[in-house]
Every structure is written in structure tokens, then in C-alpha cells.
Amino acid sequence: MTAPETTVERVGIVGCGLIGSGIAEVAAAAGLDVRVAVSRPASRDRGLALLRRSLARSVAKGRRTEAESAALLANVAFTTDLDDLADRSLVIEAVSEDERTKQDVFGRLDKIVEADDAILASTTSSIPIMRLGRATSRPDRVVGMHFFNPVPAMRLVELIPSLATDEAVTRRATAFVAGTLGKEPIRCADRTGFVVNTLLIPYLLAAVRMVESGTATAAVVDQAMVLGCAHPQGPLALADLIGLDSVAAIAEALYAEFREPLYSPPPLLSRMVECGLLGRKSGRGFYAYP
């Protein structure tokens, strides 16, 4: 089946954490009708708080006015019923980086989203898109759309068609990311980690191993890369920003597919995740956060 070249106007988002709320912000800023589905009222409250904080920062920095922020917020509606995404022309899944959870979402969306030409997209940072598409009866409509945190500031989006994705779907997704959202899409092969994380995760894991072995402290490792390599942020501060649970999950997915030692999560990382030291999101990781 070949998709018609239609414009995306009604966007659905499943999940409203850092990535989901960021996508909601940039889609609403583009004037789109955005509906965010969350699992419970508490998730809605947290997602709305994230969105409001981001808008307040943009006003404080002079990037938009209070009136513009209010207009943007008016474009976003929340629901706790996934059925309310039935009329969407694009639905972007942004739940936790867990394959079974994502497959469950796609299986449900397949039964809910009504339009034959609707696109079902995933923000997964590591899971092959074919595995998610197979949870639906329309794998030709499923594509990867990997945004980076913080979504309003980061320009890159990895677009990942599977072997089953219709080429017209990929073209529409590319036009949406580039033309509607004003981001820079790159097309990636449907392999675990895609482009960015295949390069980034071994670097982050090497930094963790240096701390684990006592070669250097987290602060020294980060200082070395900032001052010695002109990186804007050290690898361990970056890992804290991404979330150590996310770093571990991506590493495990890469190792499961390629079985290369450089992708294997170091024991220190695994222990930190087990005891809830997840980085900025939990208030403590390699560093403490207020």
C-alpha cells in the first residue's frame, strides 16, 4: 500500500516524560493540534509541569512571549484514554525504553488509529523498528523518529524506516520533521542504536569504566573531555542528563545484538541503576542535583 502525500495536522503522543513533553512543545509551536495520551492523571500533571517549565524558560530567555507560550499551550490537550488518539494522522510513541512496553503500545494503536494513511512512529533510541512494526497489522506505516533531549533545543532527529516501511511514509515523516518542525533529519539503517547511540554509548561506557577502575574521578574525566577535547559537556554529566537507566538499556540492547565487549554495561552502571541513582531525573547519579 502506498501512502498519499498528505500533510500532518493532528499529532498524537503517547507518554509525556522529557521526550514526550518536548515533542508536544515543538509540535504545538508549529501550530499543530497535539493530543498527549498518558497512563494516569499523575503522569498528566508531571507532563504538564515539564511543558510549563520549558515554556517559562523560553520566556525568561526571550525566545517567546507570554502570549506565545499561552497560545502554544492551548494547542496541547491531555487524555488518559488511548482511544482519544483515533483521529490522529501521526502518533508518536514516547514511552519508556522497554521493548515489550512499546510493542504493547503499538499493538493497541493499531486497533485504535482509524486513518489508513496514519503514521505510527517510535522515539526509541535503540530498538529495531521492525520489531515494533510486527506488533501491528500495518508495519508499512511504522517508522522510527528518534528525537534528542532537550527536544526544543536539539536539532537532530534520526529517521529509521524498517525493511517493511513504505517509502512514501518515510518521505512524509521526513517532510514533517524538516518542514513542519524545522529539525534536521538523518536517515538511519534499522539496526540497534542507529547512528548516534552506536557511537555515543561506547564512549559513555568507557568513561564509566575509568571511574570504576579508579583511573580517574567522574569530575576529572569530565574536565579532561571538556578542556582537552572542547566537548560542551563531559561524558558522565551527559550520562546523568540522558538517564543512567536509559544508557544501561541502550547498552544492553546493543550488546544483545552485536555481542561486542565495548557495548557491555559496566557493573558500576548496573549497580547505580539498581539502587535508583539515575542521574538528573532522580537527583543523583555521578553527580548530585538539587
pLDDT band at 1; cut points 50, 70, 90: very low
Strand partners, 6: none
Cα 110 to the center of its chain, rounded Å: 20
Q: What is the model's pLDDT at position 7?
A: 79
Give catalytic status of residue 75 as yes or no: no
pTM, 2 dp: 0.90
Q: Checking DSSP bridges between strand 142-147 and strand 156-161, what pairing results, if any?
A: antiparallel
Answer whether the bond into residue 150 is a cis peptide, omega within 30°.
Answer: yes
Q: What is the rounded distance in angstroms from the CA atom of residue 42 to the CA atom of residue 45?
A: 5
Evaluate if residue 143 carries a pLDDT over 90: yes
Q: Cα–chain-centroid distance for residue 155?
A: 13
Q: What is the mean pLDDT of the segment spanning 22-36? A: 97
Name, in order, each residue with C-beta under 8 angstroms of 195's C-beta and a sequence gap of 6 or more. 158, 186, 188
CATH code for the structural domain at 10-187: 3.40.50.720
Question: 154-169: per-residue pLDDT in tens?
Answer: 999 999 999 999 999 9
Choosing from 25, 93, 97, 158, the catalytic residue is 158
Cβ atoms within 10 Å of 39's Cβ, excluding its own? 13
User: Has 197 been annotated as catalytic?
Assistant: yes
Q: Pick the catalytic residue from 43, 58, 89, 125.
A: 125
Q: What are phi and psi of 97, to 5 degrees?
A: -80, 70
User: Any catalytic annotation for residue 158?
Assistant: yes
Given the residues 122, 146, 162, 246, select the one marked as catalytic: 146
DSSP helix/strand/coil, 224:
helix
- Boundaries of every domain in the chain: 10-187, 198-274
How much is the pLDDT for 6? Answer: 60
Q: Are 131 and 125 in contact (CB under 8 A)?
A: no
The DSSP line for 64-85 is: S-HHHHHHHHHTEEEES-GGGG
Separation CA 45–CA 23 (nearest Å): 17
Region of 147 please: left (phi>0), alpha (psi -120 to 50) or beta.
Answer: beta
Residues in the chain, overall count: 290
Share of the chain above pLDDT 90, in %: 94
The single residue of 21, 54, 126, 197 carrying the catalytic annotation is 197
* Superfamily (CATH H level) for 198-274: N-(1-d-carboxylethyl)-l-norvaline Dehydrogenase; domain 2 (1.10.1040.10)
Residue 2 has pLDDT above 50, yes or no: no
Q: Is the pLDDT of residue 4 over 90?
A: no
On the question of a common fold for 10-187 and 198-274, the answer reads no
Tens-place pLDDT, residues 57-66 = 999 999 999 9
pLDDT at res. 286 = 98
Share of the chain above pLDDT 70, in %: 98
Name residue 92's beta-bridge partners: 13, 121
